[in-house]
Amino acid sequence: MQNTFDWNYAKSHQRTTMTNIHRKVIRFLEDRKVNIDIEKEFPPYSVDIYIPSLNVAVEADGNKWHGGKNGCDRDRKRDKFLVQNCKIKRVYRILGTDIDVNDKLNLILDGILDGSLIDGLSKGDSVILYFGDKFYKGVVVKENKHSYSVRFKSLDLKATVDKNGLTNIKNKWYRCVEFNKKNAIPLWCKSISDCALGVLKTKDLDECQKIVKKIKGKIKRFL
């Protein structure tokens, strides 16, 4: 892959200051062999990182310039322009505080690359939490300024989930995705498969054939 990042990027063409925050995100993406454009021009703006294959922009935001009401309002106006006028699919913003935590940054970037980061929730919406090798359904009980309060009934847990869908449980970061067909169907199929496999292992061949036939019959009733 051609490296598009020039550490001596000409200042006359650079629209923002290249910080350690930017460099860390760039390194993570290049390690994943993702083709990226640095300081891609979308007049009158430029974006920190543009991923052509996904048509998305990634902005690495330091609190100094992007914190507070003025910074947030300015960013929202800019993002809206890029989506509506420049036809960028989505602008992702990664906070400096997120970038400082490697395992959290990994989850964010993986979510960007597979298109599963949460894109706006409201009270009553459902999410799926990947917790260890299991998954749990949660419901948004409150929308806050920078996060959501989500109740996971089966875990007896109320968690704070940030706007990207990440939550910290016992000092480890986990990812939530929106509860929809795209995300839920593979999990449901895996759950059915795991359950069937556990049962079939305890039966002889004839019993296994009967069980499989019953499962197929149940599914066909819904077709």
pLDDT interval class at 18 (50, 70, 90): low
Per-residue pLDDT of 79-137, as tens digits, reads: 999 999 999 999 998 887 777 666 788 888 899 998 889 988 999 999 999 987 889 99
Pairing of strands 147-152, 45-51: unpaired
Both tokens assigned to 9: 């990027």
Residue 183, SS3?
helix
For residue 92, the cross-strand partners are: 58
Q: Please, which pLDDT band fits residue 203 given cuts at 50, 70 and 90?
A: very high
Q: What is the mean pLDDT of residues 157-165?
A: 92
Q: How confident is the model at residue 161 (pLDDT cuts 50, 70, 90)?
A: very high
Three-state helix/strand/coil letters over 28-96 = HHHHCCCCCEEEEEECCEEEEEEECCCCEEEEEECHHHHCHHHHHHHHHHHHHHHHHHCCCCEEEEEEH
Q: How many CA atoms does the CB half-sphere of 147 hold within 13 Å?
A: 10
Where residue 154 falls (left for φ over 0; alpha for ψ -120 to 50; beta otherwise) is alpha
Q: Would you state the pLDDT for residue 15?
A: 52
